[in-house]
Amino acid sequence: MRRVLLSAVAVAAALLGTPVFAADMAMKAAPLAAPAYTDWSGFYVGGNVGAVGEHASGTSNFVDTAFAPASPFFANPQSNSLSPWGVIGGVQVGYNWQISPRFVLGVEGDFDWTSSSYSFCRQTDIRFTGCLDAPPNIDGVASVSGGTDWIATARGRAGVTFNQFLLYATGGAAWGAVKSTESLTCLTDGCGATSTLRLAASSSNTQIKSGWTAGVGLEGMIWRNWSVKGEWLYVDLGNATDTLVTTGNRGGTESVVWSRSEHYNIFRVGLNYHFGGPAAAHY
């Protein structure tokens, strides 16, 4: 009986162990698949939307040439710093080169419309404060409003890939339509310290400014030809100056001058379509 039990155990062990051992050997013998990567090469187009923070910082001034330049009433400079936020959105087009499984180079251009705007007012007579053309400030008010209609960039991109994601840095040239309106409201007793010439005047101007941009982003393939991205850009469009000149007292002129630097922080998300689709490749 003992020999029969031992023989049965041995047969059962052999029957149960052989498939497991065979499967284990097959797994060890099978070659491991090489990890795949996304080929980012080719053209793409897309759209984006986000938020833009404009920083307009500089000096507004009221100048009355009826006074000598040495007079305290000749000029009335005042520092102003505005930081409005608005919506930004537009389109982009680009091309990528997959120079190695881990590195991508590219170029991209975009055009975005913006809703960034600001406004402020100030006195024309250094002896008064406030923004009323009425007592106690009876010497007029200067008002300034401004903003940006659109921003466009042309940039290079360089990034590293991991799985289906592309982490990149970007930089290049930038352009923008910077607008401004200056106005004078002096209907009570004229503008400035001594003028009695009552007037109301305004002037609007839009300048196409150029500068530079730099930023970082993360883009990921989500399905076949489609990718999504998140991006931050810093844009510097340099300095802008706008001037309103009107007739002044005693044969002189009265002017409102708004001179400032224009900087932007852009935070946006985008959706891109890649022509031809990302190819699955291997190391």
Half-sphere exposure of 131 (CA within 13 A, CB side): 8
**Radius of gyration for the chain, computed over Cα atoms and rounded to the nearest angstrom:** 34
Give me 280's structure tokens: 């699955």
Q: Where are the domains of the chain?
A: 1-30, 37-282
Q: How far apart are CA 93 and CA 275, in angstroms?
A: 11
Distance from C-alpha of 221 to C-alpha of 228, rounded to nearest angstrom: 7
CATH fold of 37-282, please? Porin (2.40.160)
Which residues touch 236 (CB under 8 Å, ≥6 apart)? Answer: 174, 211, 212, 213, 261, 262, 263, 264
**pLDDT tens, N- to C-terminus, the chain (283 residues):** 344 334 433 433 443 344 433 444 344 444 544 445 588 999 999 999 999 999 999 999 999 999 999 999 999 999 999 999 999 999 999 999 999 999 999 999 999 999 999 999 999 998 888 888 888 777 899 999 999 999 999 999 999 999 999 999 999 999 999 999 999 999 988 898 888 889 999 999 999 999 999 999 999 999 889 999 999 999 999 999 999 999 888 888 999 999 999 999 999 999 999 996 554 444 3
Which strand (E) or helix (H) includes residue 24?
helix 2-29
Q: Is the pTM of this model over 0.75?
A: yes
